[in-house]
Amino acid sequence: MSLMLLNQNKNMMIVFDSVTKKYGTGTVALDSVSFVVEPKEFVILQGHSGSGKTTIQKLLLKETSPSSGQLKVDGDTLDKISSKNLPLLRRKVGVIFQDFRIMFDKTVRENVALVLDILGIEKDIADHRLEELLVLTGLSGKGEMFPIQLSGGELQRVAIARALAPEPKIIFADEPTGNLDDVTGKAIVELLMQINDQGTTILMATHDKHLVKNYHLRTIELERGKLISDLPAKKNDQT
Q: Is residue 132 part of a domain?
A: yes
Q: How far apart are CA 146 and CA 3, in angstroms?
A: 49
pLDDT at 7: 54
Closest CA to 42 of 206, 168, 204, 176: 204
Q: Is residue 205 part of a domain?
A: yes
Q: Mean pLDDT across the stretch 12-16?
A: 96
Identify the bridge partners of residue 71 per DSSP, sorted by sequence position. Answer: 16
Q: Is residue 2 part of a domain?
A: no
HSE at residue 138, side-chain half, CA atoms within 13 A, is: 17
Angle at 63 between CA 60 and CA 65, to 5 degrees: 75
CATH of the domain at 226: 3.40.50.300
pTM over 0.85: yes
Q: How far apart are CA 46 and CA 222, in angstroms?
A: 6
DSSP element (H, E) containing 156: helix 152-164
* Number of separate domains in the chain: 1
Structural domain boundaries enclosing 123? 40-65+88-231
Instruction: Render pLDDT for 41-98 as a digit per residue (tens, 0 to 9).
Output: 999 999 988 899 999 999 999 999 999 999 999 999 999 999 899 999 999 999 998 8
> Mean pLDDT across the chain, nearest whole number?
91
pLDDT at 25: 85
Q: Is residue 119 part of a domain?
A: yes
pLDDT at 61: 95
Q: How far apart are CA 90 and CA 63, in angstroms?
A: 10
Q: How far apart are CA 30 and CA 188, in angstroms?
A: 28
Q: How far apart are CA 215 and CA 239, in angstroms?
A: 6
Question: Residue 221: what are its φ and ψ, rounded to 5°?
Answer: -105, 130
pLDDT at 239: 43
Provide Rg for the chain, Cα atoms.
Answer: 18
Q: Is residue 165 part of a domain?
A: yes
Instruction: Render pLDDT for 161-171 as a digit per residue (tens, 0 to 9).
Output: 999 999 999 99
Counting residues of the chain whose pLDDT is more than 90, the rounded percentage is 78
Q: Is residue 83 part of a domain?
A: no
Burial class (CB in 10 A: 0-12, 13-18, 19+), 33: buried
Beta strand segments in 49-108, E: 68-73, 76-77, 93-96
Residue 121 Cα to chain centre, angstroms: 23
pLDDT at 10: 63
Instruction: Render pLDDT for 199-239 as a digit per residue (tens, 0 to 9).
Output: 999 999 998 877 778 888 999 999 999 999 999 988 754 44
Q: Is residue 101 part of a domain?
A: yes
Q: Is residue 28 part of a domain?
A: no
Query: How sure is the predictor about 148, in pLDDT bands with cuts at 50, 70 and 90?
Result: very high
| Long-range contacts formed by 174-177: CB under 8 A, 24+ apart | 174/53, 174/54, 174/57, 174/95, 174/96, 174/97, 174/98, 174/205, 175/98, 175/205, 175/206, 175/207, 176/96, 176/98, 176/204, 176/206, 177/206, 177/208, 177/211
